[in-house]
Amino acid sequence: MTPSTVAHHTFVIERTYDVPVAQTFRAWADPLLKARWFAGSPEALDAGYALDFRVGGHEVNHGGPPGGPVFTYEAEFRDIVPEQRIVYTYQMFSDQDRISVSVATIQFHGDGATTRLVLTEQGVFLDGHDTSAQREEGTRSLLESLAALLNGGGS
Amino acid sequence: MLDQPIDLDRTFQALADKSRRTMVERLTLGPASVSELAEPLAMSLAGVLQHVQVLESCGLVKTEKVGRTRLCRIEREAMTAAERWIADRRRSWDARLDRLGDVLNDTPTEEKP
């Protein structure tokens, strides 16, 4: 048996977009728009991406490397205040294994022609599925991804 | 161990410094003493030691006194799938929010003149 472990995480990301809050919010509410940026393309709607944007509604997505495990994302919207906030919970699976459970809070701060978006994610990573193959990727790939993020993340 | 909360913000801060990244890269090859870490860097031993302390405080590096030298090693326990996954979450949000910006920029809107 793999020992069961947990790791908690919280992070906050802020972005400002040069469009009014109504337009920013619509990109989270409209399945066609959201498929473009969240799932990568509008065609994702035909490939298993689905968005039912209402309290109690679900969002699902699938992905993963070719030949690797299928990652499944399942979200349920818990609170929606139009143009102000969206709160949802989601879990992620690697094939059949649940790998994480998270709460995401999206806040929209409209200021005339711009929107400041604040994303807060709080979650728990369930480590039971960890495989030796994943461990072998090791330190270097983590550092490379961190470095890429730090270099590409800009100021 | 994994049960400890991972403070990714501090990890990122620690790795935001080029000298510290150089030191961590060196340590991915194997343990090294503080003076070995100092070699490629134009820096005093005391300066290197300060950087080591930053890396140690965020859990990336562990040190132990071996005789008269301080040996540094990557704390592999802190470099698990969990941490990589968390970094991936953040990175994937960054990428998505960039794409959201692109979508917003080329979505025609009634509000625009």
Tens digit of each residue's pLDDT (9 = 90 or more) over B22-52: 898 888 777 899 988 998 888 888 999 999 9
Best residue in A101, A142, A149, A155 to probe B by mutation, most B CBs within 10 Å?
A142
Tokens (6 digits) for A82: 């139009």
Closest residue in chain A to residue B29, using alpha carbons only = A140
Q: What is the pTM of this model?
A: 0.62
Examine the pLDDT at A131 and tell me if it is beyond 50: no
- Shortest distance, CA B69 to any CA of chain A (angstroms): 24
The pLDDT assigned to B25 comes to 80
Residue type at A151? Answer: N
The pLDDT assigned to B75 comes to 73
Mean pLDDT, rounded, of chain A: 82
A1 at the B interface (CB within 8 A)? no
Whole-number percent of chain B with pLDDT over 70? 79
Task: Give the DSSP letter string of chain B.
Answer: -TTSPP-HHHHHHHHTSHHHHHHHHHHHTS-EEHHHHHTTSSS-HHHHHHHHHHHHHTTSEEEEEETTEEEEEE-GGGSSHHHHHHHHHHHHHHHHHHHHHHHHHTS--TT--
The pLDDT assigned to A133 comes to 40
Examine the pLDDT at B109 and tell me if it is beyond 60: no
The pLDDT assigned to B7 comes to 63
